[in-house]
Each structure stands twice: as C-alpha cells, then as structure tokens.
Amino acid sequence: MEQEPIRVLRIINRFNLGGPTYNVAYLTKYVGAPFQTRLIGGKKDESEASSEFILEKLNVKGELISEMRRSINPLQDVIAYRSIRKIIREYKPHIVHTHAAKAGTLGRLAALHEDVPIVLHTFHGHVFHSYFGKLKTSFFKAIERYLAAKGQGIICISDQQKYEIGTEHKICPPDKIQVIPLGFDLERFQVNQEAKRRSFRERYGLRNHEIAIGIVGRLVPIKNHPMFLRAARSILQEKGLQHCRFFIIGDGETKDELIEWCDEHQLRYRWKEAPDEEYPVCFTSWIKEVDDVYAGLDIVCLTSLNEGTPVSLIEAQSAARPVISTQVGGVEDIVLNGKSGWLCAVDDEVEFERKLKELIQSPSTCEAFGETGRKEVTKRYHYERLASDMHAYYSSLIDQFGRG
C-alpha cells in the first residue's frame, strides 16, 4: 500500500523580488517525493517589485496572506497568525518550514500551537546588528532563542551565518543548525550574453569604451548605497576615469534620500529612462530581466552593512562578472577574495574605492576574477543541489521525529 505524502507547509515573509522567493520556489517545485509542498506568504511593500513572475515561470502556486507584511502591526500580525493556524488545521502538515523573520515568528508560533511534528526555520539574513538599537535587538534575540529551542531545526545558508547565529549571537546550539546554501537556475546568466549585453547597453546609451559599474538590490538603509555613491563621485572626479557609468538597480524606501544626496553633491543622475545625454549615474528601478543587467555591466558592487548570502553576487559571478563587496555575513563564503573579487571592511571606504579603481583599470584582472567566479558559483549554487540537500535533511528529521 502506497504511503501518503509527507506534507510540507512552506511560509515566506512576502512575495517580493529577492533571494528568498527564488529559494522557496525552487524547493516547492523540486524537493520531490515523498514530500508535497504548499506555499504561503505575505504581501510585498509598495516600493518592492513583485516576485509572482518567478512562481509563474516555475508553475508554482503561492497563496497570499495579505495581512502578513514587513513592518510590525499588532492587529494585522494577529490576523495573519490566525490565518496560518487555520491553514495548518486544514492542511495538517508534517513539516512547517518558515523562511525569514516575520514568517519565522508567526509561522513557528502557529505551528507550535497546532502541534506540528517538525518545525524548521531558515535564516536568509538576520537583524541582530545594524538594523535596530540595543534594546529592540535584544527583544528580537529573545524571541528567536525561544522559537529555536521549541523547533526541531534551524537552517543557515552559509558557514559564516551559522557562526553568527549559533556562536556569536547564541540563538541556538551550533549542532542544531544545518547549513544548506541557496540554489538557483544559473544557466540564464551564461547564455546569449552578447545579445543581452548589447540590449542593456543600447537601452542606457552606453558606448563600447565605457565601464558600467552596478549595484543590485533594495534601496533600504542596510544596503548602504551612499557608500556606493561616494565611491562613484570620487572616481568620476579623477582624471582618466570619466568613462565610468554607475547604475543603481532596484527601488525602495531610501530612493528619495539617495537622489537628494546626488543633488547636494552635484552628481548628475537619471531616473529610469535612457537619457538623451550621458549621465554618470542612473537609477533604473527594478529590472526583471536581471540576466540582461549582469551581461551589460562590467563590475558589480555590494556595500551592505549586514547580509545573509547576497543573491546579486551569486548571479553576477555566474555571469562571469568581477565583484567588490563589503565583508559582511555570508559574503566571504561566496566570493573568493583576490580570486573572484575583492572584499573590504565595511568601514573602509578608502580601500573599497582603491580596489574598485584597480578593477576599472585592469581588464585582465576583471576577466580572471569573472572566470573564477563563474566556475565556483555554478558548482556550488545550483537549484538541483539545493533540492537534494533539503530532501536529505527533511528525510533525516522524519526519521528522527516521525510524522506525528
């Protein structure tokens, strides 16, 4: 007699464009029998791009809990919590697997109160530094410690993140943490690159000799875009480097502040559309065809104060682009310093600028870094490896804790 499927309820913070949505979409699609997955998630912020196209492309259904939002709202959070409990009672999952902070809190509380046999959480990043003040951070740590103790497992997406969660911030014992790196469909970043490069550069009026330097991600304080703009301003003022163009790909709450900074510092910019005349800085907003972006850029930057595993650096390296980043979170697990890119201390803007200039002035270094990065991330961050790792982890937990 055929055994019933093992039901997994997967809960994500919100269906916004970003690494967590790709992660849950590939797991929902590919984790495979005997696991059967139902995916639910919260509503994106107005300033964020929707990730529905990711789910549609994979023919994955995602159910929206509109009250689950990024910000804390007691009334809406209670409604979302009750909705999750109702879904759990109807679906009767053997495993509830939450992804990121809001889903992790509401989803795990609901699962624990409904006596779900196995409750898991994946940290895609964390808010234990550079987000809030000391008191608020301590409060969030206390919540995470309680939930981690009650659940059956914690997943981190890099070795560095495991160290931060388990050892530095002591959210749970390190031996309760399983490291499962992210996985993606990286082939699209490696095919038809010449045509994609031509399309992007024509769209933004880039000439063949111009160096396109970009940063990809949400425009929010933690991403530290002013550091990118300060480097851009300094480089553009240097003789012989006026052929550089800087692109900010993304949108979010700090957009107006960044544009105001450009105005104050006489840094000419353009918002969205290709200019009739050349502008050294271009804010593009969100671009769904991000594979065109990486093909069109020459160097990719990241200036974050805190990260989990930044998807932009995985995608950029898959497209054979050299990268330069602040050394935060799981960045050092995906960028080989001095081999596929440069890593700089988060507070060392002088070194960041110096290394960026070095890349601008050395096409051979860019080419070597790009090829090394492409080989490394293709081997380590494919979605088939992600699905296989998660299948094995789920199976081990079922063997240990049963189906309830």
C-alpha of 79 from chain center: 27
Tell me whether residue 103 is in a domain.
Answer: yes
Measure the CA–CA gap between 309 and 160, rounded to whole angstroms.
Answer: 9
Query: Which of 90-104, 120-134, 139-153, 343-357 is least confident?
Result: 120-134
Residue 134 lies in a domain: yes
Outline where 151-185 has alpha helix (H). Answer: 159-162
- Classify residue 80: in a domain, yes or no: yes
Percent of the chain with pLDDT strictly greater than 70: 96
pLDDT given at position 383: 92
How many structural domains does the chain have?
2
CA separation for the pair 315, 217 (Å, rounded)? 12
Whether residue 238 is found in the same domain as residue 369: yes
pLDDT at residue 319 in the model: 97
Edge-first strand order for the sheet with 6-14 is 62-65, 35-42, 6-14, 95-99, 118-123, 153-156, 177-179
Q: From the CB of residue 160, how many other CB atoms can be counted at a distance below 10 Å?
A: 22
Q: With respect to residue 113, please indicate whether it lies within any of the assigned structural domains.
A: yes
Residue 1 lies in a domain: no
Higher pLDDT, 308 or 282: 282
d(CA 334, CA 158) in angstroms, rounded, equals 9
CATH of the domain at 254: 3.40.50.2000
Closest among 367, 359, 370, 362 to 318, alpha carbons compared: 370
CA distance 287 to 185: 18
Q: Is residue 253 part of a domain?
A: yes
pLDDT digits (tens, 9 = 90+) for 20-76: 888 899 999 999 999 999 999 998 877 677 778 888 888 999 999 989 887 778 899
Query: Cβ(282)–Cβ(213) under 8 Å?
Result: no
pLDDT at 275 over 60: no
State which residues form the domain around 68.
Answer: 6-185+382-401
- Are residues 196 and 171 part of one domain? no
129 confidence band (pLDDT: 50, 70, 90): low
Task: State whether 254 and 347 are in the same domain.
Answer: yes
Q: What is the mean pLDDT of residues 285-302?
A: 95
pLDDT, position 243: 93
Same domain, 160 and 207: no
Amino acid code (one letter) for 109: L
* Residue 113 Cα to chain centre, angstroms: 30
Q: Tell whether 64 and 94 lie within a shared domain.
A: yes
Q: What is the pLDDT of residue 158?
A: 87
Note whether 136 and 223 are same-domain residues: no
Is the domain of 180 the same as that of 274?
A: no
Please give the model's pTM, rounded to 2 decimal places. 0.80
- The region of weakest confidence among 240-244, 301-305, 352-356, 393-397 is 240-244
Q: What average pLDDT does the structure give for the chain?
A: 91
Residues 117, 222, single domain; the answer is no
- pLDDT-derived band at 1 (thresholds 50, 70, 90) equals very low
